[in-house]
Amino acid sequence: MSEAFNISDEAQNYDQFGLDENPFPYSPVPAKNPEIYCGQEQATAAISSTVSTTLSTGKSKHLVVTGKYGNGKSHTLKYTRSLLRDRKDVVVGYVAQPGEGFVDIYHEFMYDLGFSEVQDIAYEYLASIAREITETNPVGANAMRSLIDEGEVLLSEIIPETIKRLSDVTQFADFARAIVHMVYEDTNLYAWQWLTAEGIRYEQRKEMEIHTALDDDTMGVRAFTALKNVLLELGYTAVFVFIDEFESIARLSSKDEQATLNSIRHLMDQNSEGLCLLFGCAPEVWQDVMSEYHAFSERIGQEVALRPLTNEHLHELVEEYLEQERIGEAVGVQPFTEDGLDMVLQRSQGNIRQVLSVCSRLLDSAAQSQQSKITAEFVQESL
């Protein structure tokens, strides 16, 4: 057996730096729910304004966040989502990339919400009907679920009125039936497949009395609008959709790209209230969209650009990461020295993805070589 490799599961010791472990990610991709965000004051101000306007007025507002690869577009969208997710009056969905058309965006949005949340929306709507036509007073999805499980409310008692009301609210009878079938054990998976635009067999649709297939952009826009209308009817303030890597639409054929942009434009036109779209997009693609698709780009209220990190932001970022794993008395950016961080900034050119990657490698190198400080000289030797 070759002895060229030295593979071990022994953990690296970072005690000399007063750290429990290396706080920097080895693969600098955005966390699902980021906890650290530094710099980008112009972007945070624009995002805060857009989100706050939607929350305070209920009126739809949209924004595109541009930035070169690695400057933090995904991190920015996910961090904003993490700020909104705990609110009870909004629904937030993250779409990693727009796919081949709007129906893919809708599919990803529904999957990000998840089966349980959509099922809770169905129970919540049943509760609103039960309060009106029965003597019970369920508040919320869990209370409604309990009343049904205990037999205090019969589904046969409230389903006909629920479908009628939902059809009026959504103007989409098939969507209404699919939402209602989310509460039936026998058909909730079929309903979920239909609602997520996955496609189901004719026999499965027939069992739920659903007549149409949800399989193109037009139906995707219609279904999304139906869901948003249900949520507003239940008292929610708005639906937030964060679409990342929007530049990938440039890989579509001209016809498909225009169809996707037209579908999103129709979505915005049909939802002047209760909708906030945030796009993450490479600046060169956004410039092409601005110049070629006026009808779409003019509906986006504002564009804000992410910028490379400054020296001040780099210090703040490194300190916050280190603070997550501090176990000793070290403070600030230790073991990084001032000239060491200057060199990191110079080598990374302020690109946050490269900063995190470089810092991770430098900390490991320093630990392995028993260096107490990460100086400019050490950075030069290590990279």
| Tokens 């780099």 belong to residue | 314
Predicted confidence at residue 2, as pLDDT, reads 64
Token pair, residue 340, equals 């060491």
Residues of the chain with pLDDT under 50: none
- The reported pLDDT for the residue numbered 35 is 85
Is the N-terminal amide bond of 335 cis, ω within 30° of 0? yes
Cα of 24 vs its chain's centroid, Å: 22
**Segments in 171-236 forming alpha helices (H):** 173-181, 188-195, 202-207, 217-233
pLDDT value of residue 1: 58
- Report whether 281 contacts 65 (CB < 8 A): yes
Helix or strand or coil: residue 277?
strand
pTM of the model: 0.90
Look at residue 54 in the predicted model and tell me its pLDDT: 96
Q: Give the per-residue pLDDT at 57.
A: 96
Q: Single out the residue of 293, 228, 307 nearest to residue 258, CA to CA.
A: 293
**Per-residue confidence (pLDDT) for residue 81, from 0 to 100:** 93
Decide if 238 contacts 58 (C-beta within 8 A): yes
The owner of tokens 């100086």 is 375
Which residue's entry shows tokens 């007073």? 137
